C-alpha cells in the first residue's frame, strides 16, 4: 500500500505531460488547418470577382419593340428578363421563396454553418438524399459570378463572395437581385418575367398557389416546369405551401385551399411571332448600329412604325389569300411524315406550337390515328378530328384515303375550347408564298409587313429581299414619264393595234394578254385595261432611258436594263421598292423614305436616336394627281374593278408576268399604300388565269378593309387639266378590230 501511494504522483505527472502533449498537438493541428484554410482563402480569392461591381448591378434585360401606339410587338434577348424593385415583389412570393430556399435568410450573415454541416453529414451517409447548403446569398453569388460546377474551390469562392455581399448590401437589396437573376425555365429569368410568361400577369398580382409554383421552380426550371411536367410542378408547389404553413406564413385554411387548386396557366408567349420579318429587319439594323451585346443585353426600348392591328389584318389576309389559291388548285398531297423521318410521334413538337395558337391561325398538326370515319389530330395542347366532310374538297371521300398516322397536315383553327378541344379546317401548303407591305403615305411609316406564310419554315423576307418581275405594275412609270416629260393627257388617243418594234436584238412583235386589239383608245382606258401595245408605244416615244430615269426618281434601285420589254415589267424589283414608289402618287409627287423606327432609348430612358420622315420631290403635284386619277380608273372600271366594292377612294395597278409566275397588286388610298405579291420561291407557274386580279387583289382588298376603317371621308385631289384638243399619241389608221374583254395581261 505504501508502494502504491508513492507511485501516484509520478503517474499524475506522466498523465499531465501526456495531456499537454495532446493539447499541444491539437493546437499545432489547428494552426495547420487554420493556415491551410487561410492559404486556401488566399489562393481562391486571387481571381475573386469584385463585389463592389454589384453597386451598379443591372442584369441583362430584354430589348423591347413597341408599335406606333406603344404596344409590345416583339423583343430581343439572350435571357428573357424584366427587372423589378423590391416593392414589386409581393409578400406572398417573398415568404414562399424564403420558406423553401432559406428559412434563416433574415438572420444569417451570408452563410448558415449548421446547414453546411447538415448537408455535409447527409453527403457522407450513403442512400441519403443530398441537400444543398447554399443560402440565398450564396446562390446569388454563384449565379452572378461563378459556374455551376460542384467543386471545393467553387464552394469556397461562393462562401467568400456571399460574406462580402452581406457586408455591402441590405437584405432587401440582396433579395431583389436574387429575384431578378434566377432561372425559371423556358428562357425566362426573374419572377416578373416568370409571372408574365406563365400567368400573363405582374408578379405583384400573384396568388398564393401561383407564387408557390414559381418558388418551387427555383430548384429546377425544367424539371418542375408546369408546361413540361405538371405532376412534378404540382407536388413541388404543395411542398412549398407546406413549408409556408410550418413557418407560420399562412393559415391551415389557406394552405388547404391552395393545395386543392389546380395549376391554371395562362401562358403568354412573347409576341415576336406577330411581325417576325419586320422584327428581324429591325434587329439587323440595331445590331449593325449598336452592336449585338447592346441589343441583346442592355434592355433598349425601340418604338417602331408598325401598327399591331394592321399587322394582324395583313397576316390574316396573306394566309387566307394563299389558302384560297391552294384550294383552287386541288389537293397535291406530298405530306411529311414523322414516322418516315424516324421520329417518335409521342415526342414530336412542331415549331408552330411554341407560338400563340388562336382562332383563325394556320398551324401544322400531327395525325395521331386514322379510320374511315375520322382522323385524330394534335397541335400544341389541342386535339380534334377531321371527318369526311373536312376532306371532301380534296376529292377524297374519307380521311383514310388521304392521311396516315404520322402525317403533318396544315390546318386553319376554327375554334378553341377550354378543355384542349378544337375545331379545324384542312388546308394545304404546297409551297405557294405571299407577301404584303403597307406604308403610311404622309410619314413613310411601315404599318404592316408580311414576308411569307410561315416564318418558322422560311425566314427569307419576300417583301424586302425577293427580286421578282413586276409585270404591268411597272406601267405607271411609263405613263408618268409620258405625262410629266412629254405633256401627254389622260384623254389623249392612242392606237391599240398590231405592231412591231425594231430593237438592238432584232424585231420585237408584242401582243396583248387577250391577243386582241381595241383600236383607238384613250390613255386612261389603256392603263385601266392594261393594254400592252399602248404602253410600249409610249415608252418608245419618250425613250426607255427617260422611263428608267423616272423609275429611279420613284426610288426603284434594282437593275433596269434599257430594253423595251422592261416597259411591260420584264425587270425584277422588290415589293418594298414598288410599294414605296407608288406612295408617291397619293402624296402629291413627294416620296417619303420608308421608316421602320421612330425612336430608340436605352435602359434609363436616354434617347439614342429619333428618326423623322425623309422626303424628296419626285414629280409635280399635278402630274401625281393625273396619274392617281388614271389608276383610279383601274379600280373603277379596269382590271381591278372588283375593288370598287369597297366603295372608297382607291387606286392602283395589277401586274402579271409570263406563264403566270408572279401576281401583283399595288394600290393606295389617300392615306396608305399597300403592295401584295403572290407566287412560288422557284419561278414556276401559279396556274392558268392566276393573274394579279385573281390571286393578289383579294389579299389587298382584305387588308384595305381594315386600313381604310375610320377614313370614310378621305378622297383624292382632282388634277388640273388644261383645255386642249384630243390628240392621238400614235397617228395610225384604226384597223377594223373588235374590242377585247376586260381581262388582265401578261407582260411578254
Alpha helices in 182-307 (DSSP H): 191-199, 208-216, 230-246, 252-260, 276-290, 292-297
Is residue 621 within 8 A of residue 586, CB to CB? The reply is no
| Residue 187 CB-density burial (10 A; 0-12 exposed, 13-18 middle, 19+ buried) | middle
Provide DSSP, 307-366.
-HHHHHHHHHHHHHHHHHHHHHT-------BTTTTT--GGG---GGGGSPP-TT-EEEEE
How far apart are the C-alpha atoms of 495 and 513, rounded to whole Å? 16
Q: Is 64 a catalytic residue?
A: no
Q: Give the residue carrying C-alpha cell 393627257.
A: 489
Q: Residues with Cβ < 8 Å from 187, sequence gap 6 or more?
A: 79, 80
Q: Is 101 a catalytic residue?
A: yes
How far apart are the C-alpha atoms of 396 and 388, rounded to whole Å? 8
| Residue 734 CB-density burial (10 A; 0-12 exposed, 13-18 middle, 19+ buried) | middle
| Residue 748 CB-density burial (10 A; 0-12 exposed, 13-18 middle, 19+ buried) | middle
Q: How many CA atoms lie within 13 A of 324 on its CB side?
A: 16
The values of phi and psi at residue 463, to 5°, are: -80, -30
3-state secondary structure 678-711: EEECCCCCCCCCCCHHHHHHHHHHHHHHHHCCCC
Q: In terms of Cα–Cα distance, which of 583, 303, 325 is closest to 444?
A: 583
How far apart are the C-alpha atoms of 356 and 14, rounded to whole Å? 85
How far apart are the C-alpha atoms of 112 and 109, rounded to whole Å? 8
Between the two ends of the chain, the Cα-to-Cα distance in Å is 137
Angle (CA) 681-684-685 rounded to 5° is: 120
Of the residues 60, 64, 75, 101, only one is catalytic, namely: 101
Distance from the Cα of residue 88 to its chain's centroid: 29
- Other CB atoms within a 10 A radius of the CB of residue 74 amount to 25
Question: Measured between alpha carbons, how far is residue 448 from residues 138, 301, 336 in Å?
Answer: 48, 20, 31
- Other CB atoms within a 10 A radius of the CB of residue 494 amount to 26
**Is the dihedral angle over the CA atoms 283, 289, 290, 292 positive or is it negative?**
positive
3-state secondary structure 375-423: EEEEECCEEEEECHHHHHHHCCCCHHHCCCCCEEEEEEEEEECCCCEEE
Is residue 432 within 8 A of residue 328, CB to CB? The reply is no
Question: Measured between alpha carbons, how far is residue 371 from residues 407, 424, 427 in Å?
Answer: 14, 18, 19
User: Which three three-digit cell numbers place residue 270?
Assistant: 412573347
Is residue 110 within 8 A of residue 307, CB to CB? The reply is no
User: Which three three-digit cell numbers place residue 180?
Assistant: 431578378
| Per-residue DSSP letter, 654 | E
Helix axis angle for 230-246 and 252-260, nearest 10°, is 180
Of the residues 99, 361, 472, 530, only one is catalytic, namely: 472
Q: Which residues are catalytic?
A: 101, 472
Amino acid at each position: 500500500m505504501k508502494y502504491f501511494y508513492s507511485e501516484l504522483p509520478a503517474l499524475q505527472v506522466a498523465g499531465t505531460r501526456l495531456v499537454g502533449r495532446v493539447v499541444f498537438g491539437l493546437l499545432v493541428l489547428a494552426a495547420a488547418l487554420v493556415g491551410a484554410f487561410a492559404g486556401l482563402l488566399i489562393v481562391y480569392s486571387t481571381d475573386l470577382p469584385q463585389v463592389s461591381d454589384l453597386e451598379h448591378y443591372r442584369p441583362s434585360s430584354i430589348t423591347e419593340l413597341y408599335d406606333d401606339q406603344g404596344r409590345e410587338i416583339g423583343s430581343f434577348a439572350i435571357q428573357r428578363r424584366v427587372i423589378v424593385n423590391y416593392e414589386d415583389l409581393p409578400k406572398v412570393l417573398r415568404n414562399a421563396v424564403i420558406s423553401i430556399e432559406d428559412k434563416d435568410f433574415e438572420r444569417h450573415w451570408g452563410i448558415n454553418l449548421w446547414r453546411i454541416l447538415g448537408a455535409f453529414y447527409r453527403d457522407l451517409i450513403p442512400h441519403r438524399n443530398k441537400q444543398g447548403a447554399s443560402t440565398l446569398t450564396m446562390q446569388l453569388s454563384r449565379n452572378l459570378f461563378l459556374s455551376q460546377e460542384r467543386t471545393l474551390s467553387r464552394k469556397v469562392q461562393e462562401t467568400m463572395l456571399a460574406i462580402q455581399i452581406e457586408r455591402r448590401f441590405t437584405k432587401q437589396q440582396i433579395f431583389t437581385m436574387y429575384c431578378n437573376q434566377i432561372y425559371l425555365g423556358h428562357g425566362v429569368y426573374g419572377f416578373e418575367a416568370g409571372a408574365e410568361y406563365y400567368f400573363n400577369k405582374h408578379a405583384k398580382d400573384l396568388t398564393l398557389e401561383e407564387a408557390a409554383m414559381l418558388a418551387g421552380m427555383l430548384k429546377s426550371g425544367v424539371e418542375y416546369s408546369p408546361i413540361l411536367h405538371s405532376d412534378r410542378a404540382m407536388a413541388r408547389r404543395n411542398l412549398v405551401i407546406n413549408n409556408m404553413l410550418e413557418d407560420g406564413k399562412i393559415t391551415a385554411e389557406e394552405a388547404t385551399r391552395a393545395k386543392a387548386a389546380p395549376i391554371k396557366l395562362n401562358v403568354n408567349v412573347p409576341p415576336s411571332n406577330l411581325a417576325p420579318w419586320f422584327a428581324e429587319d429591325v434587329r439587323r439594323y440595331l445590331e449593325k448600329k449598336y452592336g449585338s451585346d447592346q441589343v441583346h443585353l442592355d434592355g433598349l426600348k425601340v418604338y417602331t412604325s408598325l401598327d399591331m392591328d394592321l399587322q394582324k389584318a395583313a397576316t390574316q389576309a396573306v394566309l387566307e389569300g394563299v389558302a384560297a389559291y391552294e384550294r383552287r388548285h386541288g389537293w397535291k398531297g406530298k405530306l411529311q411524315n414523322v414516322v418516315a423521318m424516324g421520329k417518335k410521334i409521342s415526342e414530336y413538337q412542331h415549331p408552330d406550337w411554341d407560338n400563340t395558337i388562336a382562332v383563325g391561325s394556320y398551324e401544322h398538326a400531327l395525325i395521331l390515328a386514322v379510320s374511315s370515319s375520322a382522323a385524330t389530330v394534335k397541335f400544341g395542347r389541342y386535339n380534334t378530328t377531321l371527318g369526311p366532310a373536312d376532306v371532301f374538297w380534296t376529292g377524297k371521300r374519307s380521311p383514310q384515303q388521304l392521311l396516315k398516322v404520322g402525317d403533318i397536315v396544315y390546318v386553319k383553327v376554327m375554334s378553341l375550347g377550354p378543355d384542349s378541344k378544337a375545331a379545324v379546317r384542312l388546308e394545304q401548303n404546297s409551297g405557294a408564298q405571299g407577301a404584303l407591305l403597307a406604308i403610311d403615305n404622309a410619314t413613310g411609316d411601315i404599318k404592316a409587313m408580311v414576308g411569307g406564310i410561315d416564318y418558322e419554315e422560311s425566314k427569307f423576307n419576300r417583301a424586302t429581299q425577293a427580286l421578282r418581275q413586276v409585270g404591268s405594275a411597272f406601267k405607271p412609270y411609263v405613263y408618268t414619264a409620258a405625262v410629266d416629260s412629254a405633256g401627254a393627257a389622260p384623254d389623249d388617243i392612242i392606237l391599240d393595234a398590231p405592231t412591231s418594234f425594231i430593237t438592238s436584238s432584232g424585231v420585237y412583235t408584242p401582243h396583248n394578254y387577250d391577243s386582241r386589239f381595241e383600236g383607238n383608245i384613250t390613255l386612261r382606258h389603256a392603263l385601266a385595261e392594261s393594254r400592252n401595245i399602248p404602253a410600249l408605244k409610249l415608252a418608245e416615244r419618250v425613250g426607255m432611258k427617260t422611263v428608267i430615269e423616272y423609275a429611279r426618281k420613284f426610288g426603284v434601285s434594282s437593275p433596269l436594263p434599257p430594253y423595251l420589254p422592261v416597259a411591260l415589267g420584264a425587270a425584277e424589283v422588290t415589293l418594298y421598292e414598288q410599294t414605296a414608289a407608288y406612295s408617291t402618287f397619293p402624296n402629291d409627287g413627294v416620296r417619303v423614305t420608308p421608316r421602320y423606327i421612330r425612336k430608340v432609348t436605352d435602359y434609363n430612358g436616354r434617347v439614342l436616336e429619333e428618326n423623322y420622315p425623309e422626303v424628296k420631290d419626285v414629280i409635280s403635284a399635278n402630274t401625281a394627281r393625273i396619274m392617281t386619277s388614271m389608276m383610279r380608273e383601274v379600280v373603277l372600271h379596269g382590271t381591278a374593278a372588283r375593288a370598287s366594292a369597297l366603295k372608297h377612294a382607291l387606286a392602283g395597278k395589277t401586274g402579271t408576268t409570263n406563264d403566270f409566275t408572279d401576281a401583283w397588286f399595288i394600290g393606295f388610298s389617300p392615306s396608305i399604300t399597300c403592295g401584295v405579291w403572290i407566287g412560288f420561291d422557284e419561278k414556276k407557274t401559279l396556274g392558268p388565269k392566276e393573274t394579279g386580279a385573281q390571286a393578289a387583289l383579294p389579299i389587298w382588298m382584305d387588308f384595305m378593309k381594315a386600313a381604310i376603317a375610320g377614313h370614310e371621308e378621305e378622297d383624292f385631289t382632282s388634277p388640273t387639266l388644261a383645255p386642249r384638243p384630243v390628240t392621238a399619241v400614235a397617228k395610225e389608221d384604226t384597223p377594223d378590230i373588235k374590242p377585247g374583254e376586260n381581262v388582265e395581261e401578261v407582260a411578254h
